[in-house]
Structure 1
Amino acid sequence: MLCLLMYLSTVLGNIILISITILDSHLHTPMYFFLSNLSFLDIWYTSSALTPMLANFISGKNTISFLGCASQMYFSLAMGSTECVLLSMMAYDRYVAICNPLRYPLIMNKRVCVQIAAGSWVTGCLAALVETVPVLQLSLCGNNIINHFTCEILAILKLACVNTSVVQLIMLAISVFLLPMPMLLICISYAFILSNILRISSADGRSKAFSTCAAHLTVVILFYGTALSMYLKPSAVNSQEIDKFMALVYAGLTPMLNPIIYSLRNKEVKVAVKKLLIRNTFRNVFISTLKY
């Protein structure tokens, strides 16, 4: 029941965020373009991780086909990897907006935004492919019982009968490329942003700049904190229950909270939601009146 509520909340919240971004012309900016991409991949990510699990709960079966397991593993890794890159690009967008506002429309034009988003998706999907293919070629032992909620790549590796050193080395290289390196870019971007904000003389200007970045920084800490604890933890720490909990947070809680975090202190999103609700209310009243 909890997983179902998390899934429905995630899908509904992110669909609303995508809808208002498309329908409200005031939100046709690079920031909300990237936010729409983030919401879209969060829907896919949660669906790939939680939908098979919910189907098993409803049917009473705890099985998954090889193809289903492979698909779930790939799409979960692809969406997670894409989010790693996309969050760092969103930090760069905030850096340009705050530190170089006069040239912002020129630097972050429509073509550049599309290229950045496409590059994030391609990088994430290719990284997931490089990780998934070697794992699927491993020989598995015993009765192939996965001690996990989903076909999580770390849980699959524990079933392997052969030496997995090469696969683990590939995973480590990709994890370093997708976690510490984007985090370094984010930290550098926010160091310049903070330095620039502190030089703003107006209190309102500082408050607006801080609120613009606070939501993104909160999502970054939540996402990267969970990802680092899963994929770059010390080998001595090897608790399957902790892995399950962190995977649930990573796949369910984080995508559910993203639209809430971005909307909570964002006046533009609140205004857009109110306009959308008022527009739909008047439309429904008008249609009802015509029927009578």
Structure 2
Amino acid sequence: MSAKVYNASPLPFMGQKRRFVSQFRKALQEFPAATTFVDLFGGSGLLSHVVKRQRPDARVIYNDFDDFHLRIENIERTNVIIAEIRTMLAGLPRMKKVPEHERQAIINLLKRHEQNGFVDYVTISSSILFSGKYATNIREMEKQTFYNTPKLTPYNCDGYLDGLEIVKADYRELFAQYANTPNVVFLVDPPYLSTQTGHYENYWRLADYLDVFATILRHPFFYFTSNKSSVIEFFDWMDAHGFGSPFKEVTRKEIENSVNYHARYTDIMLYKA
């Protein structure tokens, strides 16, 4: 039986590049056999998963800096908790605000489960908070309004990380480890400029971006960003004024997205084979 192919992360995760999966798969065919792909900012592992399914000949290093694998390993426990929440909210209006009595009961339920082991607050909060919101711990959950919107079917993550070499390291250390590996390609999906960086515990600044480019400049790479970031504009300016740009000889793919009727932005994938 062939391995299951995912087109999106099987668990909620901010920033995944699911819209680019189709174009990413096509671009992977431009790289030679026995290539090593190093996913420097692994996130949900979606890019690493797609590489391994599309290119089973490749070696894929997934930098799981956010410990996403722990969420995968505890998926059955998460499904049990969400099923208990569904039971607690049975009979209440679907899609509506949860009354305070039931909200407190859910908080107590999560605290009990936390005493007995791992609780995937990102997945659980995504199921009962307002659309697009999530929490990472019980303190954040206690501040939120809950809604009767728990997922109606269990999550399934079977085989999602199969075949990947999972590591956890600062991206600079990981790059240094594989910089001299033959046929290496770096997957680069850093946080957006001036945004929270997950477990890096600070803001992603322009200087951080420049550090990334200083490392990957002389290697094949995939780079993901959007026009909400000023990075491409910055390098276009540098190139126009004679300083050069790491994006001068790359293939560029774009996807238009809508936040709402008034707000639009463009996701961008750049790669150098």
With normalisation by structure 1, the TM-score equals: 0.29
Of Structure 1 and Structure 2, the greater helix share is in 1
Of Structure 1 and Structure 2, the greater strand share is in 2
With normalisation by structure 2, the TM-score equals: 0.30
Q: Which has the higher contact order (CA 8 A, sep 6+)?
A: 1
